Structure 1
Amino acid sequence: MNALFGKKKAAVSTTTSKAIIGLGALVTGIGRVVGGRVGDGITGFGLAHVVLGTLDMFRPSVRTR
């Protein structure tokens, strides 16, 4: 049962990572539309989410006993 639970957890992690990447892309687009210094800050915030979501997707999952 633990092996099955571990596989489920990995799938959820991938789904969460993809959601964070998508949200980051959306926020980046909003930041580009806003423009100016505020838009630059929003764009950077969105790009940070894209990078962190991508890194999280490739991180090895934690195995439980």
Structure 2
Amino acid sequence: MREGLIPAVLGTVVSASGAALLSSKYKLAATGILGFGLAHLVLGAIDLVEHR
């Protein structure tokens, strides 16, 4: 399995769940979840590109 694939997939799932929660009354928590997901997505993408 390629290095960085798991964080990229995890970041996608967490970002999607954070984006789905943005319409709820917990906007601050949803923004934090979205931010953590995007951070995982970016770091996983960096690993994927770096270890090509």
Common topology (TM > 0.5):
yes
Q: Rg larger in 1 or in 2?
A: 1
2:34 is matched with which residue?
Answer: 43
Figure out how many residues of one structure are paired with residues of the other and give that number.
48
**Structure 2 unaligned runs (5+)?**
none
Summarize the alignment of residues 44-59 of structure 1 with structure 2, pairs less than 5 Å apart: 44-59=35-50
**Structure 1 unaligned runs (5+)?**
1-11
- Bigger relative CO (Cα 8 Å, ≥ 6 apart): 2
The superposition leaves residues 12-56 of structure 1 with CA deviations (integer Å, 9 ceiling, x where unpaired) of 4x2x41121111000001111122111011001000001000101
Normalised to the residue count of structure 1, the TM-score between the two structures is: 0.63
Structure 1 moving runs of 4+ over 4 Å: none
- Percent identity between matched residues is 33
1:33 is matched with which residue?
Answer: 20
Give how far 1:58 is off.
Answer: 2.0
